[in-house]
Amino acid sequence: MDKMKKLANGLEMPRLGLGVWRVNDDDATNSVKWAISNGYQLIDTAAVYKNEEGVGEGIRQAGVNRGDLFITTKLWNADQGYESAHQAFNDSLERLGLDYVDLYLIHWPVEGKFNDSWRAMEEIYENGRAKAIGVSNFHQHHIEELMTTAKIKPMVNQIELHPTLTQVQLRDFLSKEDIAIEAWSPLGQGKILQNETLVEIGQKYDKTAAQVIIRWHLQSDIIVIPKSVHENRIKENFDVFDFELSEEDMNQIDSLNINERLGADPDNFDF
């Protein structure tokens, strides 16, 4: 399995990274440092996580070449709009202590605003300060609306996706459009790790349920960013490149889908 996925603009994005939602600055610093020293290159943060400074500190403490890392952050809802998106991006870079990010995402599809936000993001991309730009929590119709004014198609859509919410229809659309799919809450926020099917499949390969789920994402061509603040779990979650789930096991995991959302529906959010 290739550890990198080529985005539509040719940029290589790591298929497996670390998420840091609901992680404070100090924990973010440690988690990022541990992740990088265990082989991670992709780190997923957001302005609203309020830990960009901690993430930046972890990057510096890890002491690797910036070019070997892939840093994602996101534009928060309150900052959407043309001018405010530019300002929010500058603020994120400053907090991170970086002069570019690898991927900048619109966090949620704020109606009436995301087209203007995108115009700012296209300029940020053209100036080389984000190596790729994309969206998050966009349904098909949001992407279609974005494309009525966009010059550049989003390269990534980061969506809630796990074995109990497999998003088959949206994934089909995104694949046809050559928009890479990235899963948030890929482990179902830890709530599906006791699932018997996943545990049993893991036993066959001498792997944990978390590793089975991460491998299922990877074999489904989904970029995946499990979160943990514990070094042993961060390590465990990256130890997934030495086994391959059979087609039968992949199908069994697919069949766990019950369209269960843990987060808000992008058509109905109030934040």
Binding site per annotation, positions for substrate:
107
Backbone angles phi, psi at 12, to 5 degrees: -90, 120
Residue closer to ligand NAD by CB (options 60, 233) is 233
Please name the residue that has the structure tokens 């605003």.
113
Closest CB 17 distance from ligand NAD, rounded Å: 8
Q: Is 49 an active-site residue?
A: yes
C-beta of residue 136 within 8 angstroms of C-beta of residue 110: no
Residue closer to ligand NAD by CB (options 151, 261) is 261
Q: Which residue is nearest to ligand NAD (CB)?
A: 19
**Position 120, amino acid:** A
| 111: CB partners within 8 A, 6+ apart | none
The residues that touch ligand NAD, with contacts defined as CB under 6 A, are: 19-21, 44, 107, 136-137, 158, 184-190, 193, 210, 225-228, 233, 236-237, 263
Closest CB 93 distance from ligand NAD, rounded Å: 18
Of 213, 216, 142, 215, the residue nearest 179 (C-alpha) = 142
Give the whole-angstrom CA distance, residue 52 versus residue 48. Answer: 9
Residue closer to ligand NAD by CB (options 86, 107) is 107
Closest CB 111 distance from ligand NAD, rounded Å: 16
| Beta strand pairing call for 223-224 and 12-14 | unpaired
Residue closer to ligand NAD by CB (options 151, 190) is 190
Q: 49, 100, 104, 205: which one is catalytic?
A: 49
Closest CB 206 distance from ligand NAD, rounded Å: 15
Of 224, 198, 197, 196, the residue nearest 209 (C-alpha) = 198
Residues that constitute the known binding site: 107
Of 98, 88, 160, 177, the residue nearest 131 (C-alpha) = 98
Which residues are identified as catalytic?
49
